[in-house]
Homo-oligomer: A and B are copies of this chain.
């Protein structure tokens, strides 16, 4: 009900251990820190002297793994994966890492992203006799890599050719009997960072996992880069694919954890700056600023600091809503039952409120929150959104509704304001948003706002 958000599809974590670390537990805690990137399924595969042991299941990291399983998963390297829960059917078969045997032995692959020419490659492979057991892009990558690998001695060379064939967004971790390989797509759409702990190398979708684990952040994997770790060294291979930067800007808006630093930008800071920009672009005369927890809070701080309007803690969020929670029926909701958010009346009553949220996708949730604030006595509610209107679908690993369900794809801002019942509504501008994460290092994909996709997309219906 209060969950009108775009959804990240995955997070990956991996470690190549030259020390006596407990790789499965390190990966467990790493995935745990990345749990916000996917709550549907999780998995860990370890390389136990050439044999790959693994466990993957539907559920949250803490539900799937216990001490017995983690003790079983002994190995000198490990990769792990968290996957998000779509609204539709979830298949256990799609859980990752994908563990396969091929002509060079066993291999495990974990993937965050979306291949945009997957159908075409799948068709090509099927016509050569390949069978598929899942609906995941990861299996397509594995099948393609395996077939291309025949021609090459080194997996890196095969990967190079794979990267020339596949299009889209991908951050990959590949564990072979002797290597741990990290790959980031040529546009650098999905994040991937390198860390170090003593002599071991660690990879993660986000740096927040390093902080929680006492791992030293080294740098981002660069767009189009292949990094190969083995027991002797770590090597960087710049692929031959043409590179231009198009990092997903929504990572900063909503997906990533505020304490992560991606491509040189701390997520919290980007959000805070968006609040500052918003205050300048859409000033308003009001008494208090409230952020919608949790992703609207940083921008609310920025808005308050820039506007001088007092920041208040306006909401109580019930954190006990787990996956087995029975959502209130329509009838219950009409009786006024709303479980997740409750305004703090003293902070709202009689006030002109600026309500900051990170995004507005279908608009259903914003309408409810505005209504809650009004019932709690807000005299006015001015909604400010720290991302531009979402008008276009994403084909690069984010679950967006069809365009017809994107409220900003179909209505004017004034119409949206009217529907959500706000006294005013302001979105940050595209330029304004861009300014929050400009650092000269990366360009960004803002296709969901401006429709300018950084590449041709074949599989539009695939999403």
Tell me which of B66, B268, B311, B320 contacts A326 (CB under 8 A).
Answer: B66
Q: Please name the residue on chain B nearest to A311 by beta carbon.
A: B311
Chain A residues 20-60 with CB under 8 Å of chain B are: 21-22, 25, 28-29, 32-33, 35-36, 39, 60
Q: Please name the residue on chain B nearest to A335 by beta carbon.
A: B214
**A342 within 8 Å of B by Cβ?**
yes
Nearest Cβ in chain B — how far from A367, in angstroms? 17
Contact, CB under 8 Å: B313 / A268 = yes
Question: Which B residues touch A149, using CB under 8 A?
Answer: 129
Contact, CB under 8 Å: A318 / B33 = yes
Tell me which of B132, B325, B346 contacts A269 (CB under 8 A).
Answer: B346
Give how many copies assemble into the complex: 4
Nearest Cβ in chain B — how far from A333, in angstroms? 9
Contact, CB under 8 Å: A344 / B131 = no
**A101 within 8 Å of B by Cβ?**
yes
**A332 within 8 Å of B by Cβ?**
yes
Q: Mark A295-333, 1 if CB is under 8 A from B, else 0.
A: 001100100010000111100101111101110110010
Contact, CB under 8 Å: A321 / B268 = no
Known: A132-B100, A149-B129, A150-B129. A62 touches B318 (CB 8 A): no
Q: Please name the residue on chain B nearest to A54 by beta carbon.
A: B93
Contact, CB under 8 Å: B297 / A313 = yes
Contact, CB under 8 Å: A212 / B342 = yes
Known: A28-B326, A337-B214. A133 touches B99 (CB 8 A): yes
Tell me which of B35, B103, B127 contacts A318 (CB under 8 A).
Answer: B35
- Docked Cα-Cα span, A213 to B298, in Å, equals 29
**A190 within 8 Å of B by Cβ?**
no
Known: A266-B346, A322-B63, A324-B62. A133 touches B100 (CB 8 A): yes
**A219 within 8 Å of B by Cβ?**
no
**A61 within 8 Å of B by Cβ?**
yes
25 contacts between A and B (CB under 8 A): A25-B326, A29-B328, A29-B339, A32-B318, A32-B325, A33-B318, A62-B325, A63-B322, A67-B326, A70-B326, A100-B131, A102-B130, A103-B123, A103-B129, A129-B143, A129-B148, A214-B335, A214-B336, A214-B337, A258-B313, A266-B344, A268-B316, A269-B346, A297-B313, A311-B311
**Additional A-B contacts beyond A101-B131, A102-B131 (20; CB < 8 A):** A35-B320, A60-B320, A62-B325, A66-B326, A70-B326, A98-B133, A100-B133, A103-B129, A128-B147, A129-B130, A129-B143, A129-B146, A129-B149, A197-B335, A212-B318, A212-B342, A214-B337, A266-B344, A268-B346, A269-B346
6 closest A-B pairs by beta carbon, nearest first, are A214-B336, A129-B147, A103-B126, A62-B325, A259-B316, A100-B131
